[in-house]
């Protein structure tokens, strides 16, 4: 190639190359952002390059796969999880917000577009391109954010999204390009969609060939194809219709605005829209053909699998061969398939006709025999709820006894003190006893308890249990003891227990009786 042709290629291709490079510019500008000077280097461990890719992936997920824009509180929630999970930062709510605000300002270039400048050798002057990563709109008094077409294009160039449909992601980019009136760029995107459809058609044919050659490997290939290609068809068809409607709207708008455009601009715009529309119709037609082919693939796969199953069935069972395989593999579990049917119930019942003659000639006994009555004592039956009730009563007795013993020693103490005594007396596992918490709840049903006699009213479930103990000899040592259950005024204090339970603190106050 001559020097003149080389120089000509350099000049004519330079603008297109710069337009392709521009989408990487914001990322590398953001990579220069350092957290060393932010808050005196408190967050120096953060990496802006990783955070940028993470935020773009989040916006792509919300905008495309969930079909919704993002509010700032939603972004803040995502960034809080990202800082904690990926960088191990345990920050307060205020600290998370200040870091997220700083990052969002950098991603939005503090409200200004990223400006990419390059020299245009054809016009012999510098040109500037303005780029955004995040776009915004106001609706219903709320600011909604979405990823820009340049950001989508950049993210797709860095790595293909394997977990989602490439066709769906490309259509999101197509939607952005149509809205920004970049119809030529949209045509290139639709061509990539056509290439992906062709790839899926080839993959479908490979699955059919694999099923015909080896049904087992074919089934594996078929299942993988279903998981990675076929399950997105419905979303892809919906996006095709949506973009087709956008193109029709753009065409109508261009025809309405023809007075504001020069003849050359109007012709070029209409030509670009028609070219994009034609390419999209081709893509929709090929996608429909692929959908029909995949439906036929499902039918073909089911038929191949059914025939393979039938060919594996045997008219007789090879006991000797099975025994040899069991000995060789040292595995007798295969006998389960042989033995289990023998234990299955026989649901088909028959009646022998000969039994009719036996029924007609049957001679019953002339006298009835009485039922034998056993003199053995009847065993008392204890029901599960009675066992539970007895356990609760015994536990409540122990907890109340500890409380009264402590009241005799200390006239005033709180629940925290009582729980510490319970833990020291009954052991570390006392906090695992659910009856302890139900005892405290029932205790708080009243504000005053008196152990003067057993003639008091049974106002609560706990009263009924305690009444059975008051007259016993063991409880005479608590005779005349009375106490109050008090809740602190204002905001109650909370007690954090070892098992991560939280209880509200209360105060127990012994009633002091005056002599005479």
pTM of structure: 0.43
pLDDT digits (tens, 9 = 90+) for 59-107: 888 876 677 889 999 999 999 999 999 888 888 999 999 999 999 998 9
**Rounded Cα–Cα distance for residues 399 and 404 (Å):** 9
Residue tagged 């036996």 (tokens) = 358
- The two tokens of residue 311 are 């060919």
Q: How many helices (H) and strands (E) does the chain have?
A: 18, 10
Q: What string of pLDDT tens digits covers the 516 residues of the chain? A: 556 666 667 777 787 788 778 888 899 988 888 888 888 888 888 999 999 999 988 888 887 667 788 999 999 999 999 999 988 888 899 999 999 999 999 898 888 889 888 888 877 888 888 888 888 888 888 889 988 877 877 887 776 555 556 676 777 777 777 777 777 777 877 887 777 777 777 777 777 777 777 777 677 777 777 766 666 666 677 777 777 777 887 777 777 766 666 777 777 778 888 888 888 888 888 778 877 877 777 787 777 777 776 666 555 667 787 888 888 888 888 788 777 777 776 667 677 777 777 777 776 666 566 666 666 665 666 777 788 888 888 888 888 888 888 888 898 988 888 888 888 888 877 777 888 888 888 888 888 888 765 555 567 777 777 777 777 777 778 877 888 888 876 677 888 776 567 788 888 898 876 544
Residue 65 phi/psi, 5° resolution?
Answer: -75, -25
| Two structure tokens written together for 11 | 């000049």
Gap between the Cα atoms of 41 and 21, Å rounded: 33
The residue count for the chain: 516
- Euclidean distance between CA atoms 175 and 181, whole angstroms: 10
User: Which burial class, exposed, middle or buried, applies to 74 when counting CB atoms under 10 A from its CB (0-12, 13-18, 19+)?
Assistant: middle
Task: State pLDDT tens for residues 300-331.
Answer: 777 777 777 666 655 566 778 788 888 888 88
Domains of the chain: 1-159 (no CATH), 160-312 (1.20.58), 384-510 (no CATH)
């Amino acid at each position: 190639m001559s020097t003149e042709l080389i120089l000509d290629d350099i000049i004519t291709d330079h603008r297109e190359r710069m337009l392709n490079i521009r989408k990487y510019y914001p990322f590398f500008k953001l990579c220069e952002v350092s957290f060393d000077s932010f808050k005196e280097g408190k967050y120096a461990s953060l990496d802006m390059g990783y955070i940028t890719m993470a935020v773009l992936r989040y916006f792509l997920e919300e905008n495309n796969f969930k079909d919704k824009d993002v509010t700032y509180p939603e972004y803040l929630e995502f960034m809080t999880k990202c800082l904690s999970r990926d960088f191990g930062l345990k920050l307060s709510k205020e600290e998370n917000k200040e870091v997220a605000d700083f990052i969002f300002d950098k991603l939005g270039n503090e409200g200004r577009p990223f400006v990419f400048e390059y020299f245009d050798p054809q016009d012999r002057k510098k040109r500037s391109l303005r780029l955004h990563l995040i776009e915004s709109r106001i609706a219903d008094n709320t600011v909604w954010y979405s990823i820009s077409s340049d950001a989508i294009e950049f993210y797709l160039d860095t790595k293909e999204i394997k977990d989602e449909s490439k066709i769906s992601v490309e259509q999101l980019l197509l939607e952005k390009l149509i809205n920004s009136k970049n119809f030529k760029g949209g045509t290139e995107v639709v061509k990539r969609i056509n290439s992906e459809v062709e790839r899926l058609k080839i993959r479908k044919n490979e699955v059919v060939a694999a099923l015909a050659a080896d049904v087992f490997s074919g089934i594996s290939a078929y299942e993988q194809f279903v998981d990675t290609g076929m399950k997105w068809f419905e979303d892809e068809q919906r996006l095709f219709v949506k973009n087709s409607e956008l193109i029709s709207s753009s065409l109508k708008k261009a025809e309405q605005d023809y007075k504001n455009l020069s003849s050359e601009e109007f012709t070029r715009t209409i030509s670009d829209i028609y070219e994009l529309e034609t390419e999209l119709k081709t893509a929709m037609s090929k996608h429909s053909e692929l959908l029909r082919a995949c439906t036929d693939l499902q039918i073909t796969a089911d038929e191949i699998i059914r025939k393979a199953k039938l060919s594996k069935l045997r008219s007789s069972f090879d006991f000797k061969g099975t025994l040899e395989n069991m000995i060789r593999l040292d595995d007798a579990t295969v006998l389960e398939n042989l033995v289990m049917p023998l234990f299955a119930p026989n649901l088909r019942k028959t009646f022998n006709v000969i039994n009719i003659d036996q029924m007609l000639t049957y001679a019953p006994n002339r006298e009835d025999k009485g039922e034998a009555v056993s003199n053995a004592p009847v065993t008392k039956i204890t029901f599960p709820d009675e066992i539970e009730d007895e356990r609760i009563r015994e536990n409540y007795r122990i907890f109340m006894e500890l409380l009264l013993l402590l009241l005799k020693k200390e006239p005033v103490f709180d629940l925290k003190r009582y729980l510490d005594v319970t833990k020291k007396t009954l052991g570390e596992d006392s906090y695992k006893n659910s009856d302890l918490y139900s005892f405290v709840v029932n205790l708080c049903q009243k504000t005053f308890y008196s152990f003067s006699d057993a003639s008091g009213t049974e106002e609560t479930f706990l009263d009924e249990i305690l009444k059975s103990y008051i007259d016993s000899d063991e409880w005479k040592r608590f005779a005349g003891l009375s106490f109050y259950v008090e809740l602190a005024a204002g905001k109650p204090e909370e007690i954090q227990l070892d098992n991560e339970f939280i209880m509200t603190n209360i105060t127990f106050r012994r009633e002091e009786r005056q002599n005479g």
